[in-house]
Structure 1
Amino acid sequence: MSALLFGSISTIADTSELQRESFNEAFAAHDLDWRWETDEYREMLRGNGGADRIAGYAADRGQDVDAAAVHATKSELFQQKLGRGGLTARPGVLESLRSAKQAGGKVALVTTTSPENVVALVQGVDELSLSDFDLVVDSSVVSTSKPDPAAYAYALQTLGEDAAEAVAVEDNVGGVESATAAGVTCLAFPNTNTAGHDFGAARVVDRLDPADLPTGLQA
């Protein structure tokens, strides 16, 4: 048996710019005179964790900010954007997912975002449902964020899969580090705002192709 492990919601649909817009709208809602422009945000994405990103930014500016509250507002705004629907799956994602399932492999979403974000994503992408995944790992299951390998370790144990028989797809450096630390071969699939990052992955691709998956995941 083999497993295809999608490491974040932006490996399914590129939501990175929606995330940035939601951060900026949350800042305005909390009367913060902040605005994260594209280049600055791209640099921030070299690390993981939205609330930590807010806290670090506040500390650098010498401001006392309730990072958890700002992040909660950002998450609500982001989910509203996802809920409008019309999201398009990234190139080759649905084909690779179906190929893996048809070949008898297992498919999982292995993220440390909130379960609400996962549900909103799936509802926003046509031709996708939670039932397409054999397992969903989110922040309600694993509290330790990437690059810690805990999410992947949990997924492998729950699926009954060996790391050597799995392949992960990640769109950010911390995700690649998480998968690699768990012993899982990782394809880097950069999103709009992580393209150009130095991933250190087995391969960097601009689309998923079922033919590039391990034999056990090819229909």
Structure 2
Amino acid sequence: MQNENKKEKEEKMAKISLGLIFSIIITLVCCAGCGGDLQTKDNSPDKKSESGAGKANAAVNKIVEPGQLISKAEAEIFTGEKLLDGQYDEKPAVGMKKCFYGAAAGNSGNFFQISVQQTLFMPQTVLESGQTPKSIFDNTRKILADGRIDLKGLGDEAFIGTIALHILKGDYYITIRLGNPDGKENRKGLETAGRKALENLDALLI
């Protein structure tokens, strides 16, 4: 009997570990993406999503859209050039919503990308496995230990890793990528954009 219970616990822990690894991989891949299969249709920042956990919780709490955290006009300030309308994508499996603003000029490699992972957009099965925006943030932070720059004064915790800014604020895990033709890290710009995103988040949660 004890052996059976031990085996069940081990199997449960293995599933949780695999699920968390899967979530982190999706998070890193999505953060590194630059548009790809993102869509512009029917995905305005003010529209409430009805997929994943969002459908069940929309009536109780408002799900935050990435375009509400950083608008196109704000993104243009951070990139210093005109941008196209935001392209939106969702990954309910990790509670993620992503917005990508590409450069309006065809010869520019500049872009601004922001994603937000939130408890309310996560499926109940994922939450029951122990995964949350915080757990994904914590484990992503460990994985990106090499070259990671820890920051203070941004949300609950924040760091720069893989040329992206990662911020944890309550039940929200925000990532921001500020692109440029050279693909170089822009720490000052990332931090400024992060502060604006947090300012807008606070306003939404009032």
TM-score norm. by structure 2 comes to 0.30
Higher helix share: 1
Higher strand share: 2
Q: Greater relative contact order: 1 or 2 (C-alpha under 8 angstroms, separation 6 or more)?
A: 1
TM-score norm. by structure 1 comes to 0.29
